[in-house]
Amino acid sequence: MPTEDDTVVCLYLLMEEILLENIILVLVAYHIMVMSRSRKRKRNNRPAAFSFIERIPDQVTHMSRLVDVSDIDCIANLRMDRNTFGRLCVVLRELGGLSDGRYIKVEEQIAMFLSILAHHKKNKVVRFDFWRSGQTVSKFVHLVLKAILKLHTVLLVKPVPVSADCTDNRWRWFKCCLGALDGTYINVKVSNADQPRYRTRKGQISTNTLAVCDRNMKFVYVLPGWEGSAADSRILRDALTRVNGLRVPKGNYYLCDNGYANSDGFLAPYKGIRYHLKEWGANAARPQNQLELFKLRHSNARNVIERAFGILKMRWGLLRSNSFYPVKTQNRLIMACFILNNYIRGEMPNDPIEQEFDIATSNPEEDAEGDCEYIDGVESTPQWNALRDAIAGDMWQSYINMD
């Protein structure tokens, strides 16, 4: 039988074990309490993460400031007034196939795209401005670009030839003329291996874009993508031989500069003739023969394409600086700039950029389609040289009779 001393020892050991367990529980509870307070303190000091619900007011406010407040802000940021922007959204919904996303409407999609074209912004800048993720910006920019390119058959115009009873002093000498054409350099981003092909004679890495416009500075045809080192005549030959390329009916023609041959469908000025003359002025500045008079009037009419390029590049900052995008995407963006330029000219009569160039706006007539023979070559021909001489002779005869 256990003695009284053994019982005391057992009770002592039991109390010691209970006390040790309580101490351990107290220590564990204290540790949990300290860690909880530490996490809570860190959570209170850390800035709260933005949620989608919290961003909505800022997104709505930004869009309202762009397209709901004033035409001045809308033109400055999107290059068109509020009514023109609203009609563009309707057109891209119905003809371009755009639709509202789950959290982003068509209006915001188009606004992001226009801000990139107008100011040549990077994805990270647009993401910050519109309170969207970079993935969202990239996704909808490409969707809007695809929708705009679908409108090329609608917004690229069909030129109307100069009629025999034309009263415009700039164009009445060029019967059956459709407009003017030229090439322009637009800087692009290419790999190091491709830079020699894209280097222009001025040392810039650019693409040589062929463009054709009518008398009202609306573009008829655009061919981007050629290397900056390519000759103008080579690009024109490619445009004429493409399946859906440039079409010039027999008997009609475009005005071009000396970078192109004076060939069937393309009327070039005489080479080696005085330039920058004045039709009315001092005798030294006035044309002295029919060749100089022809070049002067040819230059005045062909200047329509240069003015169109000036307005285009002033409107879209993407065309004035080095690209952030691969050359394939950049060529598609260039095409979109030309298409949107036609849309703005047709929908917004009071354009501040055009007013700065002091250009009057007008709408071209519709040209009926018909079966006709088209031009497919750019080689100089005696018949076309004779036509140029005949036009120059008529100009000179009328000029000296007026004196």
Distances (CA, A) of 334 to 107, 117, 197, 281, 325: 21, 9, 19, 41, 11
Three-state DSSP string of 264-284: CCEECCCCCCCCCCCCCCCCC
Per-residue pLDDT tens over the stretch 88-139: 999 999 999 999 988 889 999 999 999 999 999 999 999 998 988 899 999 9
Distance CA 73, CA 160 (A): 36
What's the token pair of residue 107?
């209006």
Residue with the two structure tokens 């008829």: 220
Eight-state DSSP code of residue 12: H
**DSSP string for residues in 195-232:** HHHHB-TTS-BEEEEEEEE-TTS-EEEEEEEEETTS-H
User: Whose CA is closest to 249, among 372, 154, 106, 102?
Assistant: 372
First to last CA, the chain: 151
User: What stretches in the chain show pLDDT beneath 50?
Assistant: 359-371
Kind and range of the H or E run holding 45: helix 4-45
Distance CA 390, CA 403 (A): 20
Q: Provide CB contacts within 8 A for 285, sequence distance 6+.
A: 277, 278
- Determine the pLDDT at residue 373: 58
Give the torsion sign (CA, 139, 141, 146, 150): positive
**DSSP string for residues in 129-145:** HHT--HHHHHHHHHHHH
Helices 134-149 & 106-119, crossing angle to 10 degrees? 90
- Determine the pLDDT at residue 36: 67
- Determine the pLDDT at residue 366: 34
Total number of residues shown for the chain: 403
Residue with the two structure tokens 């919904």: 93
Helices 134-149 & 82-94, crossing angle to 10 degrees? 80
Distance CA 229, CA 207 (A): 8
Q: Are 93 and 114 in contact (CB under 8 A)?
A: no
Q: Provide CB contacts within 8 A for 254, sequence distance 6+.
A: 177, 178, 179, 180, 181, 212, 248, 265, 266, 267
Provide the edge-to-edge strand list for the sheet that holds 266-267.
Answer: 219-227, 206-213, 177-187, 253-255, 266-267
Gyration radius from the chain CA atoms: 35
Q: Provide CB contacts within 8 A for 182, sequence distance 6+.
A: 210, 211, 232, 256, 257, 259, 302, 305, 306, 309
Q: What is the pTM of this model?
A: 0.79
Residue 187: phi and psi, rounded to 5, are -65, 140
